[in-house]
């Protein structure tokens, strides 16, 4: 996969990495340009050149990874939606279709980060890392499905902590029988931050459930909005802190997401403009599919006889986290457990400190009463899980059994959501405007 | 091994006497010495006459001598039959309950000893497995009887109380006694192993808690029924986790497991010397079967007498289940934990206490749920909110406390006092929905 920018001859930086076919294809226009077939041929050349670049770009971006075999599911979902309106199928297909898009989005963000330097790159990674979940949540928010937003974001945290980490520990432990070690202090600090973030998120819920609000129903909304603004400020500081003081950590996380090889090969595979264009197009595609996804949640829940809670907490986050999942497992199997931990816990912290407050603020702007009042069940489970995780990371070692336990705990959580229904099944969809 | 032929029995006796002399108190020792002395001399004479019946009788008596008359705790053995007699004669449930309670204690201890002995013959892997399964055999038998009687709350509370008692009372007494004996310094233990074990326990407890949380947030799809199915699913998952746990411990981490293997019987004080089994394999199995049957019989009387005892003694059933029943099941571990703490082998103590708690939460409780499923009883993981909260807080607090790596008598005292508070709270506790079988 290592190849070089195609643009012109002076960018043939690492010729040793270029494969012969590409070289042959590249060589031709460059030579032509150099020996000057001027005006006419230049036009023709330009179109051909753009075509060549487009094809090459497509090749790198679209056809490079196996997961993109799922790509046709996206258009298939749209087709099925117009043909049959069978919500179950549309839901599943759009779910499958988003997975490769999310992964490619991560890849493209990665690539863009090369051009923007480490600071903005880290910021980019931090923001777009959970872009899929954010986009899905924004659509759900627009539809007024507040519970879906809350549950999918919470499920994303749970899935990161239990499933992704568990799979990473398990696979790494199977490859390295003796157990692996990781940097205890970084992991403990990250989990401590996560715990603080979760604590900040849970206060409105606790307020509500101890029936100690001044204006029942309204105070917690106000409190939620205030807490969200505070959390966003904390998040801003968190980013500054990470980027300024812990360049090493953020470098690890930056290069962690997509490059399988060793760290020193920071070569971008596509140009900056291509990256931006692809980013925009992927984001657009994800947005389109998310709309279908969100619109069909309720229908799918009825058609497949699965509670909405289960769909929101378990199925939606699997989609959003698929890329991080794969990369965490890959890094664990290469004995780079620190990166896996950084990915998993970092993603959870980002959702807790940025994703959820952002949705609350966005809901505020949209006029939706989105608040931080997760139901008691989810709140309790989230708190217990984060506490147990923080405790478990303290000894700095992992083995396959710990991974197995985490995965089994996730199974139990998933099973409990399968038999879970909201106590007051409030139709929180306002009449469609 | 060595006890097979008569020729070597004498040497065995000598070794055996020397080994046991340090641990056994005076009167049984003298009685035993007397017995073995007689056999030692007599065997030479009998060998010539080759009377096999005599040999069997002698071996039986010798076996009884080893198994029954050896430790002091077996002075409590007569209470068992006494309980049965009382049950038929007097019908006072309070006395029957107490006597069967006291009568089970030595049986549980001997059960542990026999498992230990059997482990010599079966090798470390199966031996570890045996220890793991039979370690909590008493609690399991009592729970199964209670389950059969439909006393689901008793089962839940006794198992939960067993975990609480292990973490607070056993650890507290061990730390306290160890701290008193070594009062001039803090005792240290292997932090890494303790942290790993307590992390596993925390995860196991977390897995057990979800059905309760589901129920108490009133968020089930079908009220009352979905938590039962969730509990059954969770139990199967936990049993799989337990299988993984055993596999992990026995295969990958031999070192971690061996000290626990050695400690279960409190008749090896210095584990440096070779561990010599004292009875043959067949004897061990036979005794195991006999004692298990005895424990079952007494448990039957015990469980039947709980309700009556609770009324006549004016104790809530919750208190009996959570505080009194586990004391019985844990008596042997209690004694061995204290002993090892006093010998400054805290790692073994911690292994016993935390390992037993983990086994109960990962094996016994899910096993009871599955057995209840097969019996058609609605046993679920919905421990009441009070016990669940207490359990979680306790495990969390103890897990954090162990992170430091040192203990002293004050920590032990705090743990014991916390247990007293928990016990007191169960004394004044009644189930919100009193639905005992």
Contact A381 B213 (CB under 8 A): yes
Nearest CA in chain A to B229: A419
Q: Which of chain A's residues have a Cβ under 8 Å away from the Cβ of B234?
A: 412, 415
Q: Which of residues 344-403 of B touch A (CB under 8 A)?
A: 392, 396, 399-400, 403
Q: Number of folded domains in chain B?
A: 1
Radius of gyration of chain B (CA): 23
Contact A388 B206 (CB under 8 A): yes
Question: What are the residues facing A398 on neighbouring strands?
Answer: A180
Mean pLDDT of B5-33: 39
What distance in Å separates residue B277's CA from the closest CA in chain A?
33
Mean pLDDT taken over chain B: 75
What φ, ψ does residue A7 adopt, rounded to 5°? -55, -65
Q: What would the 3-class secondary structure string for chain A be?
A: CCCCCCCCHHHCCCHHHCCHHHHHHHHHHHHHHHHCCCHHHHHHHHHHHHHHHHHHHHHHHCCCCHHHHHCCHHHHHHHHHHHCCCHHHHHHHHHHHHHHHHHHHHHHHHHHHHHHHHHHHHHHHHHHCCHHHHHHHHHHHHCCCHHHHHHHHHHHHHHHHHHHHHHHHHHHHHHCCCCEECCHHHHHHHHHHHHHHHHHHHHHHHHHHCCCCCCCCCHHHHHHHHHHHHHHHHHHHHHHHHHHHCHHHHHHHHHHCCCCCCCCCCCCCCCHHHHHHHHHHHHHHHHHHHHHHHHCHHHHHHHHCCCHHHHHHHHHHHHHHHHHHHHHHHHHHCCCHHHHHHHHHHHHHHHHHHHHHHHHHHHHHHCCCCCCCCCHHHHHHHHHHHHHHHHHHHHCEECHHHHHHHHHHHHHHHHHHHCECCCCCCCCCCCCC
Mean pLDDT of B62-81: 72
* B255 inside 8 A of chain A by CB: no
Pairing outcome for strands A180-181 and B406-407: unpaired
- Determine contact, residues B4/B280, Cβ cutoff 8 Å: yes
> Residue A109's pLDDT band (boundaries 50, 70, 90)?
confident
What pLDDT sits at residue B419? 92
Nearest to A401 among B213, B219, B248 (CB): B248
Mean pLDDT taken over chain A: 75
CATH, residue B299: 1.20.1420.30
Q: Where are the domains of chain A?
A: 1-64, 90-248+262-427
Contact A384 B192 (CB under 8 A): no
Contact B195 A394 (CB under 8 A): yes
Contact B241 A405 (CB under 8 A): yes
What φ, ψ does residue A314 adopt, rounded to 5°? -105, -50
Between residues B217 and A344, the one the model is more confident about: A344
A348 has pLDDT over 70: yes
Nearest to A388 among B192, B202, B213 (CB): B202
Nearest CA to B194 among B264, B261, B259, B269? B259
Structure tokens at B27: 């009167």
Contact A408 B202 (CB under 8 A): no
Nearest to B207 among A409, A422, A423 (CB): A409
B90 has pLDDT over 50: yes
What pLDDT sits at residue B253? 54
Cβ-based neighbour number of residue B280 at 10 Å: 17
What pLDDT sits at residue B420? 92
What CA–CA distance (Å, rounded) separates B424 from B426? 5
Segment holding B188, helix H or strand E: strand B187-188
Contact A423 B218 (CB under 8 A): yes
- CA–CA distance from A154 to each of A120, A310, A379, B306 (Å)? 27, 12, 9, 45
A90-248+262-427 to CATH, choices 3.20.20.150, 1.10.40.30, 3.30.200.20, 1.20.1420.30: 1.20.1420.30
B416 has pLDDT over 90: yes
Between residues B72 and B86, the one the model is more confident about: B86
Kindly report which listed range (A294-298, B30-34, B150-154, B427-431) carries the lowest average pLDDT score. Answer: B30-34
**Nearest-10 Cα torsion for A6, A8, A11, A13:** 60
Render pLDDT for B188-197 as a digit per residue (tens, 0 to 9): 887 777 877 8
Share of chain A above pLDDT 90, in %: 5
Q: Which of residues 383-422 of A touch B (CB under 8 A)?
A: 384-385, 387-388, 391-392, 394-395, 397, 399-402, 404-406, 408-409, 411-413, 415-416, 418-422
B154 has pLDDT over 80: yes
Pairing outcome for strands B187-188 and B406-407: antiparallel
B376 has pLDDT over 60: yes
Q: Which of chain A's residues have a Cβ under 8 Å away from the Cβ of B361?
A: none
A326 has pLDDT over 90: no
Render pLDDT for B207-253 as a digit per residue (tens, 0 to 9): 888 888 877 776 666 666 777 888 888 899 889 988 888 888 777 65
Q: How many residues does chain A have?
A: 433
Nearest CA in chain B to A419: B221
Render pLDDT for A226-247 as a digit per residue (tens, 0 to 9): 888 988 898 888 888 877 765 5
Nearest to A420 among B202, B204, B219 (CB): B219
What pLDDT sits at residue A67? 66
Most confident of A79-93, B338-352, B409-423: B409-423
* B211 inside 8 A of chain A by CB: yes
What distance in Å separates residue B431's CA from the closest CA in chain A?
22
A164 has pLDDT over 80: yes
Contact B252 A399 (CB under 8 A): yes
The burial class, CB within 10 Å (0-12 / 13-18 / 19+), for B274 is exposed
B306 has pLDDT over 80: yes
- Determine contact, residues A339/A188, Cβ cutoff 8 Å: no
Contact B245 A401 (CB under 8 A): yes
Render pLDDT for B318-366 as a digit per residue (tens, 0 to 9): 888 888 888 877 887 787 788 888 888 788 788 878 888 888 888 899 9
- Determine contact, residues B116/B131, Cβ cutoff 8 Å: yes
- Determine contact, residues A175/A340, Cβ cutoff 8 Å: no
Render pLDDT for A269-298 as a digit per residue (tens, 0 to 9): 677 777 888 888 888 888 888 888 888 888
Contact B214 A416 (CB under 8 A): yes
Between residues B218 and A51, the one the model is more confident about: A51
Share of chain B above pLDDT 90, in %: 6
Kindly report which listed range (A30-44, A271-285, A405-419, B146-160) carries the lowest average pLDDT score. Answer: A30-44
Contact B234 A375 (CB under 8 A): no
First vs last Cα of chain A: how many Å apart? Answer: 49
Contact B209 A384 (CB under 8 A): yes
Inter-chain Cβ pairs, chain A and chain B, closer than 8 A: 106
What pLDDT sits at residue B437? 35
Nearest to B213 among A377, A388, A421 (CB): A377
Q: Which of chain A's residues have a Cβ under 8 Å away from the Cβ of B240?
A: 408
- Determine contact, residues A166/A407, Cβ cutoff 8 Å: yes
Q: Which of chain A's residues have a Cβ under 8 Å away from the Cβ of B394?
A: none
Contact B248 A423 (CB under 8 A): no
Contact B220 A384 (CB under 8 A): no
Note down the domain range covering B320: 78-261+274-436
What ipTM, to 2 d.p.? 0.71
B7 has pLDDT over 70: no
Overall pTM surpassing 0.80 (yes/no): no
Query: Buried b / exposed e across B115-144, counting CB within 10 Å, b at 16+?
Result: bbbbbbbeeeeebbebbbbbbbbbbbbbbb
What pLDDT sits at residue B169? 92
Mean pLDDT of A81-99: 80
What CA–CA distance (Å, rounded) separates B29 from A290? 80
Structure tokens at B123: 């090798």
Contact B214 A420 (CB under 8 A): yes
- Determine contact, residues B215/B227, Cβ cutoff 8 Å: yes
Q: Does B309 reside within a domain?
A: yes
The number of C-alpha atoms within 13 Å of A426 and in the hemisphere containing its C-beta is 9
What pLDDT sits at residue A167? 92
What distance in Å separates residue B370's CA from the closest CA in chain A?
16
């Amino acid at each position: 996969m290592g190849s070089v920018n195609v643009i012109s001859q002076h960018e043939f930086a690492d010729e040793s990495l270029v494969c012969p076919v590409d070289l042959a294809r590249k060589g031709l226009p460059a030579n032509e340009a150099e020996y000057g077939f001027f005006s006419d041929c230049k036009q023709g050349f330009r179109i051909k050149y753009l075509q060549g670049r487009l094809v090459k770009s497509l090749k790198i971006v679209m056809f490079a990874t196996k997961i993109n075999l799922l790509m046709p599911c996206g258009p298939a979902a749209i087709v099925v939606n117009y043909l049959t309106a069978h919500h179950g199928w549309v839901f599943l297909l759009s779910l499958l279709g988003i997975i490769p898009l999310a992964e490619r989005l991560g890849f493209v963000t990665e690539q863009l980060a090369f051009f923007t330097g480490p600071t903005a790159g880290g910021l980019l990674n931090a923001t777009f890392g959970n872009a899929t979940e954010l986009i899905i949540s924004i659509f759900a928010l627009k539809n007024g499905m507040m519970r879906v937003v809350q549950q999918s974001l919470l499920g994303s945290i749970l899935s990161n902590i239990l499933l992704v980490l568990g799979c990473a520990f398990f696979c790494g432990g199977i490859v390295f029988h003796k157990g692996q070690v990781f940097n205890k202090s970084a992991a403990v600090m990250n989990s401590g931050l996560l715990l603080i973030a979760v604590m900040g998120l849970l206060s409105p819920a606790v307020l509500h459930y101890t029936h100690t609000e001044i204006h029942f129903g309204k105070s917690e909304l106000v409190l939620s909005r205030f807490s969200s603004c505070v959390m966003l400020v904390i998040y801003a500081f968190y980013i500054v802190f990470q980027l300024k003081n812990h360049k090493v950590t953020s470098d690890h996380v930056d290069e962690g997401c997509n490059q399988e090889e060793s760290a020193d090969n920071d070569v971008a595979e596509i140009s900056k403009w291509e990256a931006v264009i692809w980013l925009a197009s992927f984001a657009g595609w994800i947005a389109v599919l998310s709309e279908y996804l969100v619109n069909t949640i309720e229908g799918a829940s009825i058609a497949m006889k699965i509670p909405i809670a289960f769909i929101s907490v378990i199925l939606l986050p699997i989609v959003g986290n698929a890329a991080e999942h794969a990369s965490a497992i890959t890094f664990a199997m290469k004995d780079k457990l620190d990166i896996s931990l950084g990915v998993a816990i970092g993603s959870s912290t980002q959702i807790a400190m940025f994703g959820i407050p952002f949705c609350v603020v966005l809901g505020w702007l949209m006029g939706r009463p989105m608040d931080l009042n997760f139901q008691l069940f989810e709140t309790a489970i989230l708190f217990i899980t984060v506490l147990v995780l923080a405790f478990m990371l303290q000894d700095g070692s992992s083995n396959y059994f710990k991974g197995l336990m985490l995965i089994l705990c996730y199974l139990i959580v998933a099973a409990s959501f399968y038999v879970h229904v909201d106590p007051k099944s409030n139709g929180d969809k306002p009449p469609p405007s | 091994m060595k006890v097979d032929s008569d020729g070597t029995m004498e040497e065995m006796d000598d070794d055996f006497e020397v080994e046991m002399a340090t641990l056994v108190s005076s009167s049984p020792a003298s009685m035993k010495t007397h017995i073995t002395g007689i056999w030692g001399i007599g065997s030479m004479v009998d060998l010539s006459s080759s009377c096999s019946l005599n040999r069997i009788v002698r071996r039986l008596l010798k076996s009884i001598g080893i198994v029954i008359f050896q430790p002091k705790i077996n002075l409590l053995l007569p209470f068992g039959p006494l309980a049965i007699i009382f049950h038929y004669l007097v019908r006072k449930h309070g006395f029957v309950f107490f006597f069967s309670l006291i009568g089970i204690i030595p049986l549980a201890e001997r059960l542990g000893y026999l498992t230990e002995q059997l482990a010599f013959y079966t090798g470390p892997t199966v031996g570890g497995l045996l220890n793991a399964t039979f370690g909590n055999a008493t609690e399991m038998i009592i729970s199964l009887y209670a389950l059969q009687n439909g006393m689901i709350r008793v089962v839940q509370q006794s198992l939960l109380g067993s975990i609480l008692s292990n973490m607070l009372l056993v650890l507290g007494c061990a730390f306290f006694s160890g701290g008193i004996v070594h009062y001039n310094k803090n005792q240290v233990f292997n932090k890494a192993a303790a942290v790993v074990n307590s992390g596993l326990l925390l995860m196991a407890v977390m897995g057990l808690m979800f059905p309760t949380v589901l129920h108490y947030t009133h968020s089930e799809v079908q009220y009352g029924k979905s938590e039962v199915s969730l509990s059954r699913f969770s139990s199967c998952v936990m049993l799989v986790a337990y299988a993984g746990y055993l596999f992990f411990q026995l295969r990958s981490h031999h070192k971690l497991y061996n000290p626990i293997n050695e400690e279960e019987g409190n008749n090896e004080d210095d584990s440096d010397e070779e561990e010599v089994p004292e009875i043959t394999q067949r004897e061990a199995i036979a005794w195991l079967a006999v004692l298990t049957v005895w424990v079952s019989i007494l448990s039957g009387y015990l469980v039947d007498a709980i309700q009556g005892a609770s009324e006549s003694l004016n104790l809530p059933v919750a208190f009996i289940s959570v505080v009194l029943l586990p004391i019985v099941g844990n008596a042997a571990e209690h004694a061995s934990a204290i002993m090892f703490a006093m010998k400054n082998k805290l790692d073994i103590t911690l292994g016993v206490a935390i390992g037993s708690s983990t086994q109960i939460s990962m094996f016994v409780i899910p096993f009871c749920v599955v057995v209840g499923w097969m019996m058609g009883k609605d046993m679920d993981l919905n421990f009441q909110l009070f016990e669940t909260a207490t359990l979680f807080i306790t495990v969390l607090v103890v897990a954090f406390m162990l992170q430091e790596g040192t203990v002293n008598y004050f920590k032990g005292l705090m743990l014991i006092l916390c247990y007293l508070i928990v016990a007191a709270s169960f004394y004044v506790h009644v189930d919100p929905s009193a639905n005992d079988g």
